[in-house]
A and B are shown apart, each in its own frame.
Chain A
Amino acid sequence: MSGSAQPLLEIRALRTYFDTPDGTVKVLDGLDLDVQRGHIVGLVGESGSGKSVTAYSIMRLVRPPGRIAGGEIRFAGRDLLALRESEMRKVRGKEISMIFQDPRGFLDPVTRVGALLTEIYRTHEGVSRKQAKARALEMVSAVGLPAPRRVMRSYPHELSGGMAQRAMIALALACAPKLLIADEPTTALDVTIQIQIIRLLANLRERFGLTIILITHNLNVVAEICDDVAVMYAGQIVELGPSVEIFERPRHPYTVSLLRARPTIVRGERLADIPGRVPDLLEPPSGCRFSPRCFMAEKICCEEAPALRPLRPGHRSRCHFAERLEDAAA
């Protein structure tokens, strides 16, 4: 991606496998991703593409039968996969935080929001109860919760979905992490609340100098706030680049297909769907994994796996024939 500065996060050849009775499912099979400091990177793809497993791998929270089988995750210069678990615990929450689609599943239902947040400041910063409470109130206001004092006294179930997500963001940011991973943070929310939350994330990026990985299946959410986009398909990144490039000059047939599958304004006109379905990762197709569904696949595509190769500065594609999309995509 653009900029010559050292990326905050560099993932190289990451492999995360799940051992099942039927064999090993290679959910992530050689994932490469750079995330620049201060950027919002959209990680898009359909169900089963490996988006969430990427997030859990970065946090090293993959549970058996899943395992990280190899690769490198360099965060601020350190390889997270080489850290001891005790060291990794200090990274989680403090340096890398995560929010989820269903915040209520994550907030302790019997603890008031204010108490949760105050406790975090007390533990991590060792400040007095009074100072911690003041910090908590500040954060509750920063995430745009109305009537902060009342929210502090609320239990999670007393909050609406949008408010609970804001509370979750407040908790995630309490220890001033460098990186926030947001896994489908607006998927369960109403349209008018979704836009409030994505704008909030954009504002918090500015205010706290955050770097954000936004995992979503919604291309429009990506178009709205992301600086860069990584498109995932069947456990690999197939295209990567600045948002404007990806949306206006897509260079991978899967990206092109995804963009075209969105409903057009023309009533009744046929939508361009993608033939077939997502491959079984127990036995992924040989060659390019998208080849069985691709509108421009040729013989070589079924035989030779393409590499994720640079096309323009910051723009990479995993397609043998990326250049053929030069004009077709416009």
Chain B
Amino acid sequence: MRGVVSAQPLLRVEELTKHYRIRSGGRRATLHALDAVSFEICPGETVALVGESGSGKSTAAHCILRLEQATSGQVTFEGEEVTTAPRGLLRELRRRLQIVFQDPTDSLNPRRSVGATVGEPLRVHGMASGVAARERVGEILELVGLQPDVARSYPHQLSGGQRQRVGIARALVTEPSLVVLDEPTSALDVSVQAKLLNLLNDLQGRLRLSYLFITHDLGVVRYIADRVLVLYAGQIVESAPTERLFERPLHPYTRALLEAVPVDSPGQRTERPLPRGEPYAAIDPAPGCRFAGRCAWAAEECMASVALRETDTGHRARCTGWFSGRVPEPGALDLGTTAGIGERG
């Protein structure tokens, strides 16, 4: 962990819930995209939100920034409540709470020059205009490793990596304290991803930023995050400091995720259990564990509702079987492969 992490949280998410009314098989149903998700992010900290399709990770990002209205729950940012903030306050909060989307191609207006795109937040927030704004845009482009004259370019003239840098520049131009990164490197090649991860690390050190890093890539998580939240079917099923989670994954879903990561080198190949089934969308979910249908240790007791409980300091899991002693220590599982995630030969 770099930088000083103070105890006062920058962002506090409490019982954040987002339900959608949908039709399923011709009947009305409720999709529980996000169910009572709670966590905090401290200044200077990077928290990873990990999950597969339908886990609710992007819904969480949208509800935190109030790009979507949550069904219930509270989001507090720098001491102000985002969920109920009136327009003026919300705009002020969004100056300090920014987002970078996965696909820079979709999130940049193709008919606007890079300079106009990056400078827009300055205008919206009344922070700068005219020459001052242009100078600020130039500075921020340099900060993210682009030539200032890129300001005159249009998105189609840039590579994927450059476009993602523009997305980051746009997010940073208003001097935020927290940036939500929604799969920022998923669409990029490995060498471009490396450049971007280096950049995010540099910027964090220089600007004392906090990140909420949303991803499905566990290699990236291990590299970038201080703490990890594992999301499954709208619920956090496990949360822990990064190294702890990789060394001692308690929830069977976390274990399945780690075992599913392909090895780094052919020499590390091992026989390991294949994850069963497919990610699950919580449509009118039963009260019990949402992973039970794919879990090797599922039993009768898993049908009852289960809370996220602390197992030791800072490490929490939502698993009845773990706390009742039925789910064995992860030592029983061959971590020889998963321990090698990201390791160089």
Chain A interface extent, by class? 35 or more
A127 within 8 A of B: no
A48 to B: closest C-beta gap in Å: 9
**Contact call A244/B263, Cβ cutoff below 8 A:** no
When A46-B189, A271-B197 are in contact, do A195 and B260 touch as well, CB less than 8 Å?
Answer: yes
B2 within 8 A of A: yes
**Contact call B263/A220, Cβ cutoff below 8 A:** yes
A251-292 vs B, CB cutoff 8 Å, 1 = contact: the mask equals 000000111111111111011111001000000000000000
In the assembled complex, the Cα of A224 lies from the Cα of B223 at a distance in Å of 21
B191 within 8 A of A: yes
Among A196, A217, A257, A330, point to the contact of B275 (Cβ < 8 A): A196
In the assembled complex, the Cα of A195 lies from the Cα of B258 at a distance in Å of 11
Among B259, B260, B266, B343, point to the contact of A243 (Cβ < 8 A): B266
In the assembled complex, the Cα of A266 lies from the Cα of B2 at a distance in Å of 12
Among A194, A195, A220, A263, point to the contact of B197 (Cβ < 8 A): A263
In the assembled complex, the Cα of A163 lies from the Cα of B259 at a distance in Å of 20
**Contact call A271/B194, Cβ cutoff below 8 A:** yes
CB-nearest residue of chain B to A250: B345
A122-162 vs B, CB cutoff 8 Å, 1 = contact: the mask equals 00000000000000000000000000000000000000111
Among B52, B190, B279, B341, point to the contact of A265 (Cβ < 8 A): B341
Which A residues are CB-close (under 8 A) to B243? 267
**Contact call B190/A262, Cβ cutoff below 8 A:** yes
**Contact call B222/A223, Cβ cutoff below 8 A:** no
B288 within 8 A of A: no
**Contact call A220/B261, Cβ cutoff below 8 A:** yes
B311 within 8 A of A: no
B133 to A: closest C-beta gap in Å: 29
B277 to A: closest C-beta gap in Å: 8
Among B52, B217, B344, point to the contact of A264 (Cβ < 8 A): B344
When A217-B189, A271-B198 are in contact, do A248 and B278 touch as well, CB less than 8 Å?
Answer: no
Which B residues are CB-close (under 8 A) to A277? 159, 161
**Contact call B191/A46, Cβ cutoff below 8 A:** yes
When A190-B279, A220-B262, A268-B201 are in contact, do A261 and B194 touch as well, CB less than 8 Å?
Answer: yes
**Contact call A224/B262, Cβ cutoff below 8 A:** yes
**Contact call A258/B190, Cβ cutoff below 8 A:** yes
**Contact call B266/A191, Cβ cutoff below 8 A:** no
B216 within 8 A of A: yes
A6 within 8 A of B: no
Among A264, A268, A272, point to the contact of B342 (Cβ < 8 A): A264
B107 within 8 A of A: no
Which B residues are CB-close (under 8 A) to A47? 160, 189
B41 within 8 A of A: no
Which A residues are CB-close (under 8 A) to B189? 46-47, 217
CB-nearest residue of chain B to A249: B345
Which A residues are CB-close (under 8 A) to B341? 265
A56 within 8 A of B: no
**Contact call B191/A244, Cβ cutoff below 8 A:** no
When A248-B345, A271-B197 are in contact, do A194 and B260 touch as well, CB less than 8 Å?
Answer: yes
A206 to B: closest C-beta gap in Å: 15
Which A residues are CB-close (under 8 A) to B266? 223, 226, 243-244, 247-248
**Contact call B198/A270, Cβ cutoff below 8 A:** yes
Among B1, B52, B160, B259, point to the contact of A267 (Cβ < 8 A): B1
**Contact call B257/A244, Cβ cutoff below 8 A:** no
In the assembled complex, the Cα of A226 lies from the Cα of B262 at a distance in Å of 12
In the assembled complex, the Cα of A223 lies from the Cα of B344 at a distance in Å of 13
In the assembled complex, the Cα of A224 lies from the Cα of B242 at a distance in Å of 24
**Contact call A264/B195, Cβ cutoff below 8 A:** no
**Contact call A265/B343, Cβ cutoff below 8 A:** yes
Give the residue among B191, B197, B259, B268 with the most A Cβ atoms within 10 A.
B191
**Contact call A263/B194, Cβ cutoff below 8 A:** yes
B48 to A: closest C-beta gap in Å: 11
Which B residues are CB-close (under 8 A) to A261? 190-191, 193-194
Which A residues are CB-close (under 8 A) to B24? none
Which chain A residues in 49-89 approach chain B with CB under 8 Å?
none
CB-nearest residue of chain A to B160: A47
A150 to B: closest C-beta gap in Å: 14
Which B residues are CB-close (under 8 A) to A221? 262
**Contact call B278/A193, Cβ cutoff below 8 A:** yes
**Contact call A223/B265, Cβ cutoff below 8 A:** yes
Which A residues are CB-close (under 8 A) to B218? 191
In the assembled complex, the Cα of A262 lies from the Cα of B257 at a distance in Å of 19
A219 within 8 A of B: yes
A199 within 8 A of B: yes
**Contact call B262/A218, Cβ cutoff below 8 A:** yes
| Further 7 A-B residue pairs, CB within 8 A, beyond A191-B216, A223-B266, A257-B191 | A161-B53, A193-B279, A262-B342, A265-B223, A271-B195, A273-B194, A277-B161
B contact set with A: CB distance below 8 Å: 1-2, 52-53, 159-161, 189-195, 197-198, 201, 216-220, 222-226, 242-243, 246, 256-257, 259-269, 274-275, 278-279, 341-345
A contact set with B: CB distance below 8 Å: 46-47, 160-163, 190-196, 198-199, 217-221, 223-224, 226, 243-244, 247-248, 257-268, 270-274, 277, 330
The 4 closest A-B pairs by CB, nearest first: A263-B223, A220-B262, A224-B262, A46-B189
